[in-house]
Structure formats: structure tokens, C-alpha cells
Structure 1
Amino acid sequence: MKFSPCTGDCTSNEDRCGGCGRSREEITETQLITKQLVEHLVKYNYDDPEKFLENVNRKAIKRSKKAQESN
């Protein structure tokens, strides 16, 4: 499945957003992950938040590929 980012044309009358096509569950979980990342960045006040996020990105992709291979 390809990720479909928010388009700003959100609808709330269906199980899926009419703008991006994602399920309400996926949208809620993505918002929670984003909130946790922001809270972490604020808590530690990194001078280079881009570097932290690049590291998280790299590790998440590596671990997800490994998990997919083992399934």
C-alpha cells in the first residue's frame, strides 16, 4: 500500500477520508506518532532536529524491511 499524505480536503462522514483516502484508524495513529515525535523534540530541544528525524527515518525503514522479510 502506498502512503497518501493529507491533502487538506478532509471529510469526516465516511470510514475513509475523502481527501487522502486513508482510514480513520491510520490517520489517528499517524497523528499520535507525530505528536510523540514533537514532544520528544521539545523535551530534548535538539539544535539539529532534522538530524534526529533523519536517524529515526533511517532506523524505521531498516527495521520495517527486516520485519517484512521475516514474515
Structure 2
Amino acid sequence: MRFNPCADLCTKDGTHCQGCGRSHEEIAGTKQLVASFIGFIQQQGYENSDEFIDMVSKKVRKKLAQAADKPQTH
């Protein structure tokens, strides 16, 4: 599946947004993640939130690459 960013044409009817094509469930999950990050940044009182966000982005990319390299076991 390919991520489609918001196109600022949001709709709430049906199962998917007509603007970006993402499911409303996916959009809600993304909003929860963003709210969690904001809450953590505010709780820590970071004055350099951009640096924290950049660090998290780098770590997520690194861990995704590592996960892709590992064989899946079920």
C-alpha cells in the first residue's frame, strides 16, 4: 500500500476520504500518533522540538530498514 498525504479535500462519509483516498481508520490512527508526539514534546518541555522530530524520523527510517532486512517469522 502506498501512503497518500492529505490533499485538504477531506470527507467524512463512507469508509475512505475522497480527498486523499485513505481510510478513515488510517486517518484516525495518524491523528493519534501526531497527538501522542505533541503530548510527549509538551510534557518534556522541549524548546527544540524540530530536532526531536528529526531524530525520531531518522530512527523510524533506520528501524524500518532493519526490519525489512530481517526474515519474517510467524
- Scaled by the length of structure 1, the TM-score of the pair is 0.89
CA RMSD of aligned residues (A): 1.2
Distance in 1 separating the partners of 2:69 and 2:53 = 24
Identity of aligned residues (%): 31
Indicate yes or no: 2:24 matched with 1:24: yes
What whole-Å deviation, never above 9, does each CA across 1:22-54 have from its counterpart, x for those lacking one? 111211110000000000111111111000000
Distance in 2 separating the partners of 1:68 and 1:30 = 22
Query: How many pairs are equivalent?
Result: 71
- Residue aligned with 1:35, SS: helix
- Scaled by the length of structure 2, the TM-score of the pair is 0.85
- Residue aligned with 2:7, SS: coil
Distance in 1 separating the partners of 2:69 and 2:29 = 23
Work out which of the two has the higher radius of gyration on C-alpha atoms and give 1 or 2: 2
Indicate yes or no: 2:61 matched with 1:61: yes
